[in-house]
Chains A and B, each alone.
Chain A
């Protein structure tokens, strides 16, 4: 089993070139999780448990306005009345919500003026992750907001963005500096009582990113957030809110990792996107939370609610996700197509191996006229994993002439895994057309044979075929991410084939 080491190194894009010890490269070649270390940083951590006092304390620590606390408490009261959803095809032991810490922040916490003041250990952490946090790496062309456990630790390129009126900051800061904007939009796409985990998130979310692109502004660079869970026995509950005003355009990237631990950790995020008239939001995720070991011990429970609202006419929201991590994934990035002629897109690659379980897909709700949606989902299962696509396409009576095209392809590597497809199609308008196609197959012997006859080793051949299988989705990722994703996929497949 070998990965050409040269390829590994050249594949890292500028700004994320990290000095790797030989050992790390060896780990990579074995396909093991490479972000499994922890950083020994002194943290400001709340006691375990959840009650109204904890929520008040989180709110107070963030010096939030009074209405925000009320909002959180309302969500908490909703949550207490709700039951954990059981319809997804995943099996796990329900987390004990009283045995989690709901807040953990790196210490010391003081106002930071430049990156030099950030704890060097933290910077080292992000360097290991390959995040171009350093401002010198301007050439990387990505503005980054890094969230460590529960709080945002650094945001880069703020000045360039500020010149164009773009707000890109931690949501806790937005709550202090732009409370009206936050108040207007938060919960407008994912209400506090939307579902069990969204309600929990609304009650206890500690940080996340806030983006506002003013009228007619095209964001000059890709915005990016990196999430990292470091402390043990904590849950991460981040909340991202992105607003593109009339005619605005933004591309947002999100990446995530966590250390290797034996116990399961909970990640319950909420992402809300709002696209006004003629606005475009592209949201890309490369999710690589720790997936647990081969026996299925440990790993992140990734229970995420992501939803975008195409509010204005001709607006456009595009979700692209590459899911390779997490022990359990429960995630359905959705679009509410309200404005006439609005467009929703969902491109997804989900790879599961070992004992991973993923139930992921999308919801496209057509409300406006001439709305269009495209769903391309590629699932790859290996080992003893369970991988399901679950998607809803709903066309409401007033959505004339709308169009949906869905394609779900599954690839099975090995005979101990499963690939499932659960589409839900609900049409209430005669002038609309909805199409769904799905196929499941194993990797083609002919293609592998062809590659091998040309001198390509079996593992590389499989990796090539799988990358080709996912190409349609990778084409929708920004270039650097596409390279990362493709590499991540190759690495994840190592050791799970044959």
Chain B
């Protein structure tokens, strides 16, 4: 006997709350092109399944807890002010500090000091509503490939986030700092940050994006998509500092598209969070482009930190350098995937990739997957990966000089991590990060 099974659309509990908030967002006024872009995002979201561990990309990254949580989008909730929260330790001295609270720009506590003529730094929402609308329209969504259900979701909720525009040939003399703060809340809250950084030809800028959580970051989830467009000969130094507290969750996808002879220097520093995934995708689409991706993840307690890198060499004579370092303690887990793709015809590619992991605890777990996919023959591509404890011979050397083991291990760990923070060119940011790393490992050193 033959039976036919007809597919019945299942009422998906894990999606319904997002759909509900999408409907509420649709009630608000927005330009027609934005409504269309959001609708496309919503359609993609409907067609895409949640990431799961059977997908090669998400093989070791279990975000089941994230999928199963019912989140309220910040679209509909009352906004918080930061009266009780002192933002000064997170500000960077001498920079233009722009503060976002739960995904929305807060002009009252931001510097809106002058920028060179034609440059814009501020909020995406303001740019959409203001004279820069055409710029946003042209670039928004231009870098993003179909990555996952979460990036589609972000597109469906485009409202606000960091925005930077530097016109042709302009160099920003003061670096810009986007400080994104997650406030403490009773309900589970998701912020769909959408960032857009555009540097026209020969423009130059230094940008930092810091994400911090008030308290433990409980109930909070940041779903971030960041698009970076670099024109011919442009140079951007981009530092992302992530501290989502002990329980905060964050999925971030950064998509960068580089023009001819442009240079992208990225520093990604993850200090905390229960589930953090930083996906960094770089498209080297024009000859001579250069990208340097540096990363540091200090992983403790039961955190899961995933750094997922995609570098596509789609033109000749491009250079990529990847250096990611991790320190793992407690029952933490870290996943590193570095995928370098050299497409057919991308000759004279020069690519190096290194992932070093320092393992401090037996309950910690490291997964490292440096991958090469090469379709051109005149290339120089290498990758390397190491996992190990602080070297016992060096610990022994310290002890033979009268330094106890705990201090020796603390110093070695600090040295391992500081090496990466020390590469940041801006002294103010470097000092600030160095202080954070030192405090993290100083109990070992001082005590």
Task: List the interface of chain A (C-beta within 8 A of B).
Answer: 87, 395, 397, 410, 412-442
Contact = CB atoms under 8 A, between A and B. Distances in A.
Nearest to B60: A426
B367 A425 contact: yes
Interface in B357-415: 357, 359-389
A425 B369 contact: yes
Give the 6 A-B CB pairs with smallest separation, nearest first: A412-B377, A433-B388, A425-B368, A436-B385, A440-B381, A442-B377
Nearest to B358: A430
B94 interface: no
Contact of B388 (A87, A415, A426, A432): A432
B56 interface: yes
B197 to A, nearest CB: 32
B73 interface: no
Contacts of B363: 397, 428
B359 A415 contact: no
Contact of B366 (A416, A421, A426, A441): A426
Contacts of A431: 389
A275 to B, nearest CB: 26
Nearest to B381: A440
A437 B377 contact: no
Interface string B39-62: 000000000000000001000100
B55 to A, nearest CB: 10
B347 interface: yes
A422 B371 contact: yes
B382 A439 contact: yes
12 contacts: A415-B375, A415-B376, A420-B371, A423-B369, A424-B369, A427-B368, A429-B359, A435-B386, A436-B384, A440-B374, A440-B380, A441-B381
Given A422-B371, A435-B386, A438-B384, A415 B377 contact: yes
A432 B358 CA distance: 11
A426 B367 CA distance: 4
Interface residues of B, number: 37
Contact of A425 (B360, B366, B373, B374): B366
A419 B372 contact: yes
A423 B385 CA distance: 9
A423 B370 contact: yes
Nearest to B335: A426
B345 A415 contact: yes
A393 to B, nearest CB: 9
B344 interface: yes
B264 to A, nearest CB: 23
A420 B359 contact: no
Interface string B239-270: 00000000000000000000000000000000
Interface string B333-348: 0000000000011010
Given A414-B377, A436-B384, A440-B380, 5 more contacts: A410-B374, A412-B377, A420-B372, A422-B371, A431-B389
A224 B96 CA distance: 73
Contacts of A418: 373-375
Contacts of B365: 426-428
A430 B360 contact: yes
Contact of B387 (A397, A416, A421, A427): A427
A438 B377 contact: no
Nearest to A407: B384
B382 A438 contact: yes
Contacts of A442: 377-379
Contacts of B381: 439-441
B327 to A, nearest CB: 12
B370 A438 contact: yes
Nearest to B378: A442
A316 to B, nearest CB: 24
A416 B369 contact: no
A439 B365 CA distance: 26
A82 B321 CA distance: 41
A interface, over-half SS: strand
Contacts of A432: 359, 387-388
Contacts of A417: 375, 377
A249 B311 CA distance: 47
A436 B367 CA distance: 12
B371 A421 contact: yes
B51 to A, nearest CB: 15
A331 B70 CA distance: 43
B195 to A, nearest CB: 31
A427 B364 CA distance: 8
A359 B344 CA distance: 19
B408 to A, nearest CB: 15
Given A423-B371, A442-B377, A430 B384 contact: no
Contact of B384 (A397, A415, A422, A437): A437
A438 B383 contact: yes
Contact of A419 (B362, B374, B380, B388): B374
Contacts of B375: 415, 417-418
Contacts of A427: 357, 359, 365-368, 387
Nearest to A411: B377
A401 to B, nearest CB: 10
Contacts of B383: 421, 436-438
A428 B364 contact: yes
B373 A420 contact: yes
A430 B389 contact: yes
A358 to B, nearest CB: 14
B362 A437 contact: no
A414 B344 CA distance: 11
Nearest to A433: B388
Contacts of B372: 410, 419-421, 438, 440
B344 A416 contact: yes
A430 B362 contact: yes
A3 to B, nearest CB: 24
A175 to B, nearest CB: 37
Contacts of A437: 382-384
Contacts of A435: 384-386
Contacts of B370: 421, 423, 436, 438
A37 B379 CA distance: 40
A434 B387 contact: yes
Contacts of A423: 368-371, 385
Contacts of A434: 385-388
Given A416-B344, A424-B367, A440-B382, A87 B377 contact: no
Contact of A413 (B345, B373, B377, B387): B377
Contacts of A428: 362-366
Interface in B161-179: none
Contact of A415 (B344, B371, B373): B344
B366 A440 contact: no
Contacts of A430: 359-362, 364, 389
Nearest to B56: A87
A448 to B, nearest CB: 14
Given A412-B374, A417-B377, A421-B371, A429 B362 contact: yes
A10 B170 CA distance: 71
A139 to B, nearest CB: 44
A290 to B, nearest CB: 26
Contacts of B371: 420-423
A330 to B, nearest CB: 15
A433 B362 contact: no
Contacts of B366: 425-428
A34 to B, nearest CB: 28
A487 B154 CA distance: 57
B386 A433 contact: yes
Nearest to B352: A439
